[in-house]
């Protein structure tokens, strides 16, 4: 029943969300689902404008308030109901307002993965269909309600990190076992393979880079 009949809050500002979770104590889910039915398998994800990270004793509340990334990009944080209870430690959630509306559940989950790389220690189970309880009278900390998370930058954290790991591995193999180095075309194709086919703007920029390579006399870049 917790996945059914959610009420959409259209155009909700960060102040609205702060009031909902930390004063009224409403449970929230960061995405809008068709007919209010929240399910990654059977529901239909429509859009999301916020992203929440859940921390359970892997980061202190004091460190959270001083965290440079949170201060730069997060809107606010609030403590959960079990915060500070015996054997529980510091438990809280950090709320980010997105600079673009996300309309794809996989893109949203990729944002969570990228953000976890930037801010390690959050609950890895959080995803587009997560239910996050509110806490009436919670302790809150406002970073800046005008902050917005740069979604494009965060989205590419994971593929870039994965590509870097592959290149580091290749360098290790070359240094320790020896192999014939790939051609320039193969290396470019390797990097292009790690860029998701989800954004026209991104691929326009890629095309511009390849056109620049061609301009230096490398005809294979055009094809």
Q: Could you tell me what percent of the chain has a pLDDT over 90?
A: 41
Sign of CA dihedral 115, 119, 124, 126: negative
Instruction: Say whether pTM exceeds 0.75.
Output: no
Q: What average pLDDT does this structure show over 16-40?
A: 91
Q: Is the pLDDT of residue 125 over 80?
A: yes
Cα dist. 85→6, 53, 65, 81, 82 in Å? 30, 20, 19, 9, 6
23 vs 125: CA distance, rounded Å: 25
* pLDDT tens-digit series, residues 83-124: 988 888 899 999 999 999 999 998 998 899 888 888 888 998
Q: Is the pLDDT of residue 181 over 60?
A: no
- Token pair, residue 217, equals 């006399």
Which three-class secondary structure state does DSSP give residue 31? strand
Beta bridge partners of 53: 94
Q: What average pLDDT does this structure show over 58-76?
A: 95
């Amino acid at each position: 029943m917790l996945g059914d009949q959610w009420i959409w809050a259209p155009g909700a500002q960060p102040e609205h969300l702060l009031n909902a979770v930390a004063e009224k104590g409403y449970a929230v889910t960061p995405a809008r689902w068709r007919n209010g039915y929240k399910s990654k398998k059977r529901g239909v994800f429509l859009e999301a404008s916020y992203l929440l990270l859940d921390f359970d004793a892997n980061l202190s509340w004091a460190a959270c308030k001083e965290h440079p990334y949170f201060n730069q990009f997060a809107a606010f944080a609030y403590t959960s109901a079990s915060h500070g209870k015996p054997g529980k430690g510091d438990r809280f959630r950090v709320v980010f307002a997105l600079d673009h509306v996300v309309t794809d559940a996989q893109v949203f989950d990729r944002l969570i993965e990228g953000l976890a790389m930037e801010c390690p220690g959050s609950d890895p189970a959080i995803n587009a269909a997560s239910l996050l309880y509110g806490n009436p009278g919670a302790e809150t900390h406002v970073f800046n309600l005008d902050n917005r998370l740069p979604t494009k930058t965060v989205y590419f954290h994971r593929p870039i990190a994965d590509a870097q790991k592959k290149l580091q591995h290749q360098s290790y193999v070359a240094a320790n076992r020896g192999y014939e180095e790939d051609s320039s075309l193969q290396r470019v194709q390797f990097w292009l393979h790690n860029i998701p086919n989800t954004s026209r703007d991104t691929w326009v920029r890629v095309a511009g880079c390849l056109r620049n390579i061609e301009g230096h006399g490398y005809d294979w870049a055009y094809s």
